[in-house]
Amino acid sequence: MRELYMNLNDPLPYVIALHYSRNVLNSAPSTEQEAIKMGWIKLKPSESVYHQLGIGNEGNLKYTSADGHLEAVYYSDGTLVRDITNVGTYNFSPPSDFALHAYNDVIPYYILGNASYDTTPGWTKFWVTLKAAALKASGN
């Protein structure tokens, strides 16, 4: 019982495990054409910037399922992105609910990345946030 009590007083390991395991819930169509046929929603450039990191990923396109929980990211040739830096991730809260999405999905990503081996620097995530804001302000 004492062990259970101690674990409940330190929820951080559970939060980290939940964040890193969330992507087992994500199920992305294999190709962009399949996503289009299934009615997935193509997001604006400002909503795709976190999935366009690194050389050769600038043209990546992001789609979500109708409810906003599932994500798929495709290279410009329509094939599914699988690298951990740019991969589509499962959203506990859909992007349409800005506050909850930020709290449940974006902030944990800023702190933890997409996986324990995601080495994307924090400054890159900050820079991308500024890029997204600029794109959004311009209507993209």
The 10s digit of each residue's pLDDT in 19-38 is 999 999 999 999 999 999 99
Is the model more confident about 67 or about 95? 67
Q: Which residue range forms the structural domain that includes residue 81?
A: 2-137
In single-letter form, the type of residue at position 43 comes to L
Lowest mean pLDDT among 53-57, 73-77, 89-93, 134-138: 134-138
How many other C-beta atoms can be found within 10 angstroms of the C-beta atom of residue 109?
16
Return the C-alpha torsion angle 23, 110, 103, 40, nearest 10: -40
Give how many domains the chain has, as a whole number: 1
pLDDT score of 130 more than 50:
yes
pTM: 0.84
Is the model more confident about 128 or about 90? 90
Would you state the structure tokens that stand for residue 16, as one six-digit string? 């980290």
Decide if 44 contacts 19 (C-beta within 8 A). no
